[in-house]
């Protein structure tokens, strides 16, 4: 097992989870509906983040403040889009970014099959697939609002 590469990979995904949680907080605070689903999703992603942190620490890694700051900055730029102009369009794009992040997490769990990291990867993959389905349902709902003729 290449610990250095694995730790770098995990640290990158941890930074992505920071951005995802910030984005979810913003979506929850601006939501008119779906608050319960978004809150549940945030709790699930927080749990996934905890799993990654524990694995990273067990392998001797720690979080990268610089990567986390970068992820935080990207989320803040997206937040500006949520607050400016068309709120529905901003929510649509935010949900798309969130979906991409969860897709990346699914790929992480699948990649970890090549090393023995002591995680229940099939369970983590199934949870990520459910999260993708949830975000997609919300995304389609918001797309109707954002893109349909007025």
- 59 with 7: CB under 8 angstroms? yes
Over residues 130-147, the mean pLDDT reads 95
Please state, for a pLDDT cut of 90, what percent of the chain lies above it.
61
Over residues 76-97, the mean pLDDT reads 74
| CA proximity to 74, closest of 130, 5, 131, 18 | 18
**Fold assignment, 3-147:** Ferritin (1.20.1260)
| Greater pLDDT, 129 or 2 | 129
CA distance 12 to 29: 26
Is the pTM of the predicted complex or chain greater than 0.85?
yes
> What token pair was written down for 66?
């610089």
Burial class (CB in 10 A: 0-12, 13-18, 19+), 101: buried
Could you read off the pLDDT of 31-77 as tens digits, one per residue? 777 899 999 999 999 999 999 999 999 999 876 554 555 555 555 55
Mean pLDDT, the chain, integer:
87
């Amino acid at each position: 097992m290449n610990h250095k590469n694995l730790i770098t990979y995990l640290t990158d995904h941890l930074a992505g989870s920071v951005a995802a949680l910030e984005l979810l907080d913003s979506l929850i605070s601006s939501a008119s509906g779906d608050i319960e689903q978004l809150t549940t999703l945030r709790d699930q992603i927080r749990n996934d983040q905890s799993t990654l942190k524990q694995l990273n620490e067990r392998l001797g890694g720690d979080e990268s403040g610089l990567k986390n700051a970068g992820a935080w900055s990207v989320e803040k730029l997206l937040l500006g889009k949520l607050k400016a102009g068309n709120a529905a369009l901003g929510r649509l794009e935010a949900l798309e970014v969130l979906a991409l992040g969860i897709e990346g997490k699914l790929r992480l769990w699948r990649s970890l099959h090549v090393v023995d990291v002591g995680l229940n990867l099939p369970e983590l993959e199934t949870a990520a697939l459910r999260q993708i389905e949830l975000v997609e349902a919300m995304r389609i709902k918001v797309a109707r609002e954002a893109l349909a003729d007025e």
